[in-house]
Amino acid sequence: MVVFDDEGVIDNPGLDFAWLCLRKYIPDSYRKYYEYMVKMFDEYDDLRWLYERDLEGHSTGTTPIIVLCILALFNINDDELIKYALKVKHENVGIDKVLIWILKELNIEVLIISNAYPAIPLLSALKYGIKTSNVYTSGFQYRTCIDVLKDMNDLVQEVYERSPLKILTRYRSELKNFLVEYLNICLKLRNEYLSRNERLISRLMRRLEQVVNSLESSELKSILKYLLYDEYGVMGGHNKRKVIEKRCGSDTIYLGDSIVDADALSYANYGVSINCVNKHALLASKLNIATLDYSELIHVINHILDYGLEKLEKLRRSLKNSILFTRDDIEKNLNFVIEINRKYRSILIENYSRSIKDYV
């Protein structure tokens, strides 16, 4: 199998659907507060993953779930988000050639493992005929109701199965109170992870659990425990690695671009990061590619299938519009690798921002 992240690999790295929704749907009077709290939560999320990484504790990539909780407060529904996803989803140039080549010419199965809102990776599945059982998203796992999506009606039904939004909106008042307390504790945890205060971290972690357990509604408590405490609803960090381990083992190709991919990149024998500026993901990579033309991933995948990680100079020469970094390059010149990746990534994000300016 070849395993893809979606946002940043199949789709432009500028597509962060959670943040786009936050900016589009939250009223002006609330937006500044929620943007700040989500930014702090995002930092807490990554810092906690790093703090617990060796223990396989927290799986980073929880921010899209928190944003869904916030959207529920304003009664935003899945139909609106699906329509918005259609407007802002924007594939990387050449990635269609890669996916068609893998699926049709090589006849190799593709997995998509993404912490994004379900509609984003499912739109990729619909376009390329990828089985829904091969698509892992944020929200409810293993709720597949249709094997292969034939049209948008099928996609909508599949999103309904996976998204917790319809349940969250039933409990807006209780959810609002929960979020205030939960996010404030996460902000405090963020600060303590930076100072490495283990005693206070343990105390705040117990408080975080208490906040979930103190919810009055048994349904809301069950959903939030599933999503945030047990983290079954999170598809980042070591949860990505567990999917790969279960579905195809380590002898596979994984394509990612950010911190949520670090554990998957590390586990896969052929973990390839693309236009990646996160040091943890880069240091977990076996190869790194900086490119504006994703069709050149065909050369990378073909080389891996033929030679593994041998003869990399041959691969380097075959890439006309991309820069290849080996693991040795990354370890010896990390800052330079980040600088080159940032240059390419910034161009892609700038192009994306222009293309969706009417929808944000």
- Tell me the per-residue pLDDT of 159-200, one tens digit each, with 9 for 90 and over: 999 999 999 999 999 999 999 999 999 999 999 999 988 999
How much of the chain exceeds pLDDT 90, in percent? 91
Note the pLDDT tens digit of each residue in 135-165: 999 999 766 667 899 999 999 999 999 999 9
- pLDDT of 21-38, one tens digit each? 999 999 999 999 999 999
Q: Is residue 339 part of a domain?
A: no
Per-residue pLDDT tens digits for 247-302: 999 999 999 999 999 999 999 999 999 999 999 999 999 999 999 999 999 999 99
- Domain annotation covers residue 207: yes
pLDDT at residue 246, as a whole number? 95
- Predicted confidence at residue 69, as pLDDT, reads 98
pLDDT of 109 strictly over 80:
yes
φ, ψ of residue 273 to 5 degrees: the values are -95, 145
Write the pLDDT tens digit of every residue in 304-335.
999 999 999 999 999 999 999 999 999 999 99
State the pLDDT at residue 144: 64
As for how many domains the chain has, the answer is: 1
Domain presence at residue 239: no
Report the pLDDT value the prediction gives residue 142, as an integer from 0 to 100: 62
Tokens of 292: 């504006």
Task: Please check whether residue 316 lies inside any domain of the structure.
Answer: no
Q: Give domain status of residue 326, yes or no.
A: no
Average pLDDT over residues 328-343: 99
Q: 109 lies in a domain?
A: no
Domain range for residue 40?
A: 15-92+139-229
Instruction: Give the HSE-up count for residue 158: Cα atoms under 13 Å, Cβ half-sphere.
Output: 31
Pair 77, 112: CB distance under 8 Å: no
Query: Residue 318 half-sphere exposure, CB side, CA atoms within 13 Å?
Result: 16
Does residue 328 fall inside a structural domain?
no
Residue 288 domain flag: no
